[in-house]
Each structure stands twice: as structure tokens, then as C-alpha cells.
Amino acid sequence: METPFNRDSETRFVSYVEGLVSVIGHADRAKPLLDYCQGLLLPCERKSVEPMAAVTAPSRVAAQHQSLLHFVGEAPWSDEQVLNKVREQVLPAIERHGPIEAWIIDDTGFAKKGRHSVGVAHQYCGELGQAGNCQVAVTLSIANHHASLPIGYRLYLPKEWAEDQTRRKKVGVPEGVGFKTKTAIALDQVRSAYAAGLARGVVLMDGAYGCDTQLRSGISALGLSYAVSIPSSTTVWPPGREPLAPKPYVGHGRRPTRLRRDSMHKPASVKVLALDLPKKSWRTIRWREGSNDWLGSRFARVRVRPAHDDYRRHAPRPHEWLLIEWPEDEREPTRYWLSTLPEEIAFNRLVDLAKLRWRIERDYQELKQEVGLGHYEGRGWRGFHHHATLCIAAYGFLVSERETIPPSGPRTAAPRQIPAVPEDHRPRGGADPTRASHPELDRNHAPEADRPIRQKPRTMSMLHSSERSSTANALMTQ
């Protein structure tokens, strides 16, 4: 029996997708768009094209498979326009709980077999916790303490891919896409968000990005503040210590203009500085409520000047906050941040904003585990980005819908029956019980050796388990 909650959720879902249809291009893409987003939200194990075709159109799996495959792998709709529309529709729900506070830069990896999928290379993969065969995408998310939403997403193309014209052509890498470092891609995303007039937030990033002086300088040039993790080896000028002025001019030759260092005037690593701080510098601060208790630790903060390559500069870098975390049960400090937030900012607010980067980890967890961000099995540039865009669209709907469900209490929706898959349906590549044969591989799909490495499904954490059941059941009533 259908409840009002079911009908309301379905109505909101259809309306949400219709908003995306307005920027998708041709009207004949509306149905596959709805079906693809629906498939991403259904509780099936895999969110690649064929399983989604089986659960969204069980009576015509082959036709649905080709329709979805063409829509995600070949149709020339704009990822940027769809992501902008997702942001436009979801942002009001996020901002009802407070203004945007942060722009979060990060990347995420997808373990991958084979070597033919676009951008795959031996590189560090967070999913594996080590270097391995994978694809890596750079992202930018907007966030407050209530929720976060990815607004920028681009595959990192390693140099060996960017310079190989044969491989580029096979997977459809656009002509204008060349090699860029991850930090350069991130800065492009920040500049695009700034040009779009998005509500300003403090730019947050981990140590892999925070250690890049050029990226930090580019963010500051836009007038944006940042709070970025840095390695313990980063050098700064401690309070009371400054670089030497340029040498005096002696009347001939080029006038000296660069700052200097000597044995008595040199910067220190942030770790050395932290270990030298007096005991009174440290303060215990709580920054957010966890699942069982408040999260807190010991922190110190100091005004410093970053020292990276300043002997090539004509003037010292401006003062910034150095924030240091040293849990009481650790032998030495564990984390360091540099921040251009105002000098008068409250200590607990500085910690709170620096720690807000946890939101991006939630994004990746839900995008991968619940809407299948890493399940795409095609090889091409367009399909990789189209699939990710639609996953973000589905995730955005969950974000906007979350506040309609009480955090606890009885379920309000009756269980939904997932359409039954026909008994004679055999997944592509599966064994045929009647004869030994090898089915043709679709030209847009990768063979088994080039498919994503399957990860064991885990429990959703964005919504309470009972909430997830209610949401999934309510959204998809046909």
C-alpha cells in the first residue's frame, strides 16, 4: 500500500529529474536520464549499465541496455551544464541549514584492471591505500556543517596518456585536453566556481594539495581564504624571525632585490616549531559531535610566514596561521595546517573550519558505496564523466531529500518490490547453461580484464539504516 510519503517522494524525484532534462539537450534523452538516475538509486549490487537495465526495464533488458549505454557513453550532452543544474536545485536545501562555509578540493581513485580505460595508470589510489593500477579524478565540493555536494569533477590524465595520440583517439579524449597536474586541475575548478559567482567558502585541502605553494597563491589571488593541511617538513619563519633584506647596493652592477638567509636567519620546519612551543600554547578544543561523543584534541596556533623559496622573492610572504594538532596520547604532533583566515578569528572557529574537510570523505563514501561512482565499466572519456555526473545528480537528490525524513522513528514507507529480472536473462559475459560460447563484447564496454575491481558493499552511513530503506522504497515507486 502506497503512503503519502511515497507519492511525495516520487513527485519530488520526477520534478528533480525534469529540471535536469532542461539542460540535457534532445527530448529523447529524458527517458534514459530518468531511468539511469533511477537505476543509481535502486538497491542493486552493481550500478553499471547492464544491471541497471535489468532492474529498470526487466521486460526489455537488451533494448534498455543499448539505450542507457548510448546515453552515458556517446550522447554529447554537457557535464558542466548538468552539474550546474544539480547545484542550482540542491543548493537551497543545503543553505536552509546555514550558508556555504567551505570549498573542498580533493581527488578520488578507482582501482582498475587492464590498461585501456581512459587515464588508467600505476599511481597512488586511496581506495587501495597504496600505488596501483587506477584512475584518479579531481573534485571540488561546496559544504557547510549540514551537507556537501561535488560541483566539479575531472579525470586526471597522466602524461603518458596525454602524449599518446593513439590511445587518446581510442577513448575519445577531447582535442583541447592536455596534461595538467592535479593541483592545476584543482585551481581551474576553483577559478570556475569563483567566476560562476558561487557563495564564497574557505578553501580546504589535504597535504597532497596544501603543500603546493602555487595553488595556495592562486587561491589567495582570487581573494579567497584557505585552511590547508601541510607536511611536517614545511618550513616557516617563526614569530620574531624574518628573512634578511636584500644586500646593500654597492654602486655598480644590478641592484640586489632578493631576500636572504644565513646561519643565524633561517626558517624552521613546522614540526621543530611545534615541539619548541611552551605548554601554555596548547588548548583542548572540541570541533563536532561524533556518533558516540564529541570529537576533540589538543591544538596550538601561531602566526608565521611561509618560507618556501622566499629567497627568490623581493618581499616576505604575508603572515598566516599555523595550526597544529597534538593529541595527548601521541608522542609528537600529528597534523599541521596553514590558513589565511583573519588574524582575529576565534581559536575554536579556526579548528572547526580546518576540520570541516571530513565532509569530502562522506561524499566519496556515499558516491562509491550507494550510487556506484566506481562501477562504470566503459573505457571512454565521455562515458567516464557522464556516469560520474549522473552519480552526483543522484547523490544530490539524496542530499536534498534527507531533511524530509525524521532522524529516528518508524518507517513511513511500505517496502518496494524491485522489478523481477527475467529467468532467461544472462548478464553479459556470464556462462550460458545451454551452450559454451563467448558473447560479443559491446564496443563501448571494457572486457573483464579492464573492468573496475569490485569492492565488497558496505553499509550506508549518510542516512540511518531505517531512513535509507524508507528513502529507497519511497523514491522509486513506479
**Where does the pLDDT of residue 458 fall: very low under 50, low under 70, confident under 90, or very high at 90 and above?**
very low
In single-letter form, the type of residue at position 183 comes to T
Q: Which helix (H) or strand (E) holds 355?
A: none
**Confidence tier at 3 by pLDDT (50, 70, 90):** very low
Find the angle CA(216)-CA(385)-CA(95) to the nearest 5 degrees: 60
pLDDT tens, residue by residue, 376-432: 999 999 999 999 999 999 999 999 988 665 443 333 333 344 555 555 555 554 444
State how far the Cα of 233 lies from the Cα of 333, in Å rounded to an integer. Answer: 12
pLDDT at position 293: 73
Mind listing the pLDDT tens digit for each residue in 243-271? Answer: 888 888 777 778 888 888 887 788 999 99
Query: What are the tens digits of pLDDT across the range 166-202?
Result: 999 999 999 999 999 999 999 999 999 999 999 999 9
Let me know: does 390 contact 372? Beta carbons within 8 Å: no
The answer to whether residues 186 and 205 touch, using CB atoms and an 8 Å cutoff, is: yes
Q: Model confidence over 96-148: pLDDT tens digits? A: 999 999 999 999 999 998 889 999 999 998 888 899 999 999 999 999 999 99
pLDDT for position 67: 96
pTM of this structure: 0.84
Angle of helix 381-401 versus helix 30-41 axis, rounded to 10? 70
Residue 454 — very low, low, confident or very high, per pLDDT cuts 50/70/90?
Answer: low
